[in-house]
Amino acid sequence: MAIFGKKGFIWKQEVAFAKKLLVWQYEKSGTALPDEAAITAHAEKIVDDAHMIAKKSGNNVLEILKNQVKEIKK
């Protein structure tokens, strides 16, 4: 099993973290949760975007994930 890369262990953990943040954000705002597939797709896009931002800026991916989820406008 690959540790790094698009479908590696660390990427999957980052997606799981992003999903938890998204669910928390939906619950906090009182918005109905979308289905699991939609949350997963959104989390994957957030993680991909965070990696692109980190590559350009040299920042920490987890901090970028947190900021991206906070900035989501419902």
**pLDDT range class, residue 51, cuts 50, 70, 90:** confident
Q: What is the pLDDT of residue 62?
A: 77
Give me the percent of the chain exceeding a pLDDT of 70. Answer: 93
Weakest mean pLDDT among 14-18, 25-29, 34-38, 56-60: 56-60
pLDDT of 7 above 50:
yes
Long-range contacts of 61-66 (CB under 8 A, 24+ apart): 61/14, 62/14, 62/17, 65/14, 65/17, 65/18, 65/21, 66/21
* pLDDT, average across residues 2-13: 80
pTM of the full structure: 0.75
